[in-house]
Amino acid sequence: MTTKKTSGRSHGFRHKSRSVMTKRAPRGVSFLLREYAPGDRALVIIDPRQHKGLPHRRYHGKVGRVVESGRRSVTLEVKLGKKTKTLITRLDHVKPFGG
């Protein structure tokens, strides 16, 4: 009987994300009061202090178009290569894109 050898490192959802998941600056609550309308553009910036609704690290720094906005969450369409992905995340991980 052969056993499969594992590499001994984690392959979890947050692996290789130490630089993305560390923030030093304190943050207020004004970002939670912003309202997003469909068609607005928003920047995905992961906030490691809020674990709920955390997007995958591949979306960090990406700009998406708001499709739907809820009370605590926002639905974005984000381009990854040639594909368009739908990303549902909390308001903690999104900020308006002014560019």
Write phi, then psi, for 84 (nearest 5 degrees).
Answer: -115, 120
| Residue located via tokens 């974005």 | 76
Could you read off the pLDDT of 40-89 as tens digits, one per residue? 999 999 888 888 888 988 999 999 999 999 999 999 999 999 999 999 99
pTM above 0.85, yes or no: no
Better pLDDT: 5 or 16: 16
- The pLDDT score that the predictor gives to residue 1 is 63
Residue type present at position 52:
K
Residue type present at position 6:
T
SS3 (DSSP) at 88: strand
CB atoms within 10 A of CB 44: 22
- The pLDDT score that the predictor gives to residue 14 is 76
